[in-house]
Structure 1
């Protein structure tokens, strides 16, 4: 069938369909994102482009999270994690998916699970190639996950590494990356102020102001950047400048439904008004920001600011008691950061130990010559076959003659070539195994009819292979025996039926598949 030429892309041949969805949610148009994702995923599914569909699903997850629909976002996060082994891809992409899942879990209050995914992302990024957009994106997602757990030091380090790996010279892209880092600093500074560490907060506000003013001087065009700068001005005593920025932008952000930007602008406005002693007006701004908050952490932050402002406007025992109660809650949550840091270290250690055990188990279950599973793996798999699966046994025809005529070195090359073909025909959950010598087995997650088609393809690939490139005159064919699992059947009985088919193929002239 004729196909249209398509540029090769690690994100899928039709990635542009989903990148529009991703762009919408990055610009804060989350409701529109969901509608665009419906269209993009339907088209990608029709075209059979699962990688492009994955990009759209990620963007949908971000939009749902921003809208506070965290249970729905978690379902997509779990789906994307489950798809990793099926779709494959770069290590950094795997790390990004795990970091995104971690962020959703932490916002839902599932701290243990979220930190476990963060630890897995950290372990993968430790060995992933750097200096790429994928690595930058994964590190940025890790920073957001750490930020959601208030592990600001880790988030800061992750964003620094992300920017160092950002191998793009475009000013707007680099400015956007720096803006994400500054937004982290400002949130960190605001939380430090709430727990009484004002000097540390002031350092971060000054650093943020310097960075933002530099990028605006370079041509940065970002409503979020303006909102964050307005907060910095309010905290730095530059009240008229803060108020001017808010007045220019807030009505438009409210009108277009860009709630994140509007929430930050209401915060800046409230901080500026409170610094000027306009407590009632400041309280209105903080309550407006609270109404636009969807995450529990956001709501607690603005509830605290409302309480601080009320205590200034209406000094007395009641408002002071409310403020002290909230202050105690805020302080307790801040102290939990230390527990989370310890939990993350422990989770990272567990992930490293699991990886070491997996590596050791894989080495013990692998054939040294071909890299396929060995007899130990076969013994484990034969008793785990279930309905709808099949066992395919394979022998190389006249393999002793190949060794005798051409040498054992040529024989080893033949076995390696066959192993590569068998491995290429294994899908997720399936396995190719070398017993030893010239005997192979495949555990296939399909019934007999589809298994026959797979066996035919394998024999066809090897028959068409130009074996003369290894040794002139060399020919290689396979005999195969196939058995589909029968309900309640013991592993040895399944093996015996496949082996009987293999014997029948040999006595019938070899180079064929047989079942009994």
Structure 2
């Protein structure tokens, strides 16, 4: 797990529980994270704080992924995607969930599925605001997913956008993104070196060193940055500097259970030991790094270094054959990158086409004035109404008088204001509709008691609004009829019952709700 912050959505009222879970994850204490998540999830469920509960599960997902328990992590990721309370919010938040899921799928070897989610995340981020924590966090997840598929160019672009998401050069998040960017360059350089592109590898390592030294000079340092710098030193033959960093940091990282940084330090130590001819000790360090690896892409780096060391320690046909075989495997994986880039372009095109179809469908079912659903949408929903939900019908009281007295332009503004209130009271699976003139409908996913509270809240908000800001003397109230859907009831009957109650409210003096 890297050191980037992973907070992606507003917490509920018991935010401290989620913050504790995520703090442990960020620090690399993944086993402790799972214990904290057990407690936090139980408490938030008991208290009914579903938003914080979801965010705690997100922290659990990160910890499971870092521990290599990918099947369990994927189950949580799929739950989060299916949870429409979380999706349908800020585009960057949705994109982050998509990218996190993509990363897990890619590490599980489900490349096609993973690249599809990468494409969905990219499409969302194309239209998301490009500043702030949400965008930063989503881009960091996209970078990790791309890196998992060895799409290093895409990962590089994502990390650059992470850095640009914060304008202040001394921002905490910006420095965290820079440190993670250097780790990406390091991993990219290791793979380039394995396929014989040493000049490109050296260039990336030099870039990493320059960035890490800049932040060190600014007084900002992290174990991740120090570990990456140690590997860069070792690759450049600066063994004394490597030994100094490893000697100070490795025991501390092992003791703290920060395996991500410890793995890189073992790599640096092994490279430095091999450079001075300590082949047996070098093998020990590469083996230690291998034991701390949870992903196949990580293990391949250390297996390669072990093979190189073996050819130096035991020169001969056998060790050379093993190394050449491993190089052939790396070359084949490198060529697969081209296929994956093609697959990603195709997946992105499919996502674009799906979005275009959805946009066309939305236009066909939307009211031009208010942006709510139109009569076509109403017909769809009324025919799909199911037990457990409710239908709320609304008329604007004396709307003709408003048009006659103040103008149709004022009447249109009133309808727009009412539409905004209705929209704000709809949850993810609920829909507000204007199906004619001053007539509105709201399909609610709750039973009659909860629906009654929502309707009364809407009515009071409209009544209390200062309508004189639109035009002096203007007042607006609503009449409402509410009916809960019965099991097996045809949509027409549900509508008739709600409509009858709407007229009951009007006959009783308007500005009120009529329900059972």
Q: Does TM, normalized by the shorter one, top 0.5? A: yes
Match of 1:235 in 2: 235
Match of 1:403 in 2: 403
Q: Distance in 2 between matches of 1:292 and 1:181?
A: 21
Residues 513, 65 of structure 1: alpha-carbon distance in 2 compared, 3 angstrom cutoff: same
Give CA-to-partner distance per residue, 1:348-400, whole Å, 9 cap, x none: 22222222222222222111222211001111111111121122222233333
Instruction: Map 1:143-222 to 2 at 5 A.
Output: 143-170=143-170, 174-222=174-222
Contact 1:15 1:55 in 2 (8 A): no
Residues 208, 514 of structure 1: alpha-carbon distance in 2 compared, 3 angstrom cutoff: closer
Aligned length: 508
Residues 378, 215 of structure 1: alpha-carbon distance in 2 compared, 3 angstrom cutoff: same
Contact 1:133 1:167 in 2 (8 A): no
Q: Distance in 2 between matches of 1:131 and 1:417?
A: 29
Residues 246, 376 of structure 1: alpha-carbon distance in 2 compared, 3 angstrom cutoff: same
Q: Report the more deviating stretch, 222-231 or 177-186.
A: 222-231
Residues 361, 282 of structure 1: alpha-carbon distance in 2 compared, 3 angstrom cutoff: same
Residues 331, 488 of structure 1: alpha-carbon distance in 2 compared, 3 angstrom cutoff: same
Equivalent position SS for 2:362:
helix
1:292 aligns with 2:292: yes
Match of 2:57 in 1: 57
Q: Report the more deviating stretch, 161-170 or 35-44.
A: 35-44
Q: Distance in 2 between matches of 1:133 and 1:515?
A: 44
Contact 1:140 1:159 in 2 (8 A): yes
Residues 464, 173 of structure 1: alpha-carbon distance in 2 compared, 3 angstrom cutoff: closer
Contact 1:70 1:104 in 2 (8 A): yes
Residues 92, 373 of structure 1: alpha-carbon distance in 2 compared, 3 angstrom cutoff: same
1:248 aligns with 2:237: no
Contact 2:12 2:51 in 1 (8 A): yes
Equivalent position SS for 1:489:
coil
Q: Report the more deviating stretch, 399-408 or 181-190.
A: 399-408
Q: Distance in 1 between matches of 2:411 and 2:223?
A: 67
CA RMSD of superposed structures (Å): 2.8
Give CA-to-partner distance per residue, 1:1-53, whole Å, 9 cap, x none: xxxxxxxx955566455334333322222222223334444565566655555
Equivalent position SS for 2:387:
coil
Match of 2:387 in 1: 387
Shift of 1:152: 0.7
Contact 1:269 1:282 in 2 (8 A): yes
Q: Distance in 1 between matches of 2:31 and 2:465?
A: 53
Contact 2:86 2:94 in 1 (8 A): no
Equivalent position SS for 1:251:
helix
Shift of 1:407: 2.9
Shift of 1:445: 0.9
Greater relative CO, 1 or 2 (CA 8 Å, sep 6+): 2
Q: Distance in 1 between matches of 2:186 and 2:247?
A: 21
Query: What TM-score results when the alignment is normalised by the length of structure 1?
Result: 0.89
Equivalent position SS for 1:487:
coil
Match of 2:74 in 1: 74
Q: Distance in 1 between matches of 2:247 and 2:513?
A: 78
Match of 1:427 in 2: 427
Shift of 1:191: 0.8
Q: Distance in 2 between matches of 1:468 and 1:254?
A: 67
Q: Distance in 2 between matches of 1:197 and 1:469?
A: 68
Shift of 1:185: 0.7
Residues 175, 515 of structure 1: alpha-carbon distance in 2 compared, 3 angstrom cutoff: closer
Match of 1:4 in 2: none
Shift of 1:55: 4.4
Give CA-to-partner distance per residue, 1:122-153, whole Å, 9 cap, x none: 22222222332333222222211111110111
Q: Report the more deviating stretch, 33-42 or 232-241.
A: 33-42
Q: Distance in 2 between matches of 1:509 and 1:52?
A: 43
Give CA-to-partner distance per residue, 1:239-285, whole Å, 9 cap, x none: 23223322232222222222111111111122222233332222222
Match of 1:447 in 2: 447
Match of 1:6 in 2: none
1:418 aligns with 2:418: yes
Equivalent position SS for 2:482:
strand
Q: Distance in 2 between matches of 1:151 and 1:90?
A: 26
Equivalent position SS for 2:181:
helix
Residues 355, 171 of structure 1: alpha-carbon distance in 2 compared, 3 angstrom cutoff: closer
1:108 aligns with 2:108: yes
Shift of 1:94: 2.8
1:223 aligns with 2:230: no
Match of 1:5 in 2: none
Q: Distance in 2 between matches of 1:132 and 1:478?
A: 40
Residues 116, 224 of structure 1: alpha-carbon distance in 2 compared, 3 angstrom cutoff: same
Contact 2:84 2:428 in 1 (8 A): no
Instruction: Map 1:317-356 to 2 at 5 A.
Output: 317-356=317-356
Equivalent position SS for 1:394:
strand
Q: Distance in 1 between matches of 2:83 and 2:59?
A: 16
Q: Distance in 2 between matches of 1:507 and 1:174?
A: 62
Equivalent position SS for 1:442:
strand
Give CA-to-partner distance per residue, 1:99-134, whole Å, 9 cap, x none: 222212211222222222222222222222233233
Match of 1:119 in 2: 119
Q: Distance in 1 between matches of 2:170 and 2:471?
A: 53
Equivalent position SS for 1:264:
helix
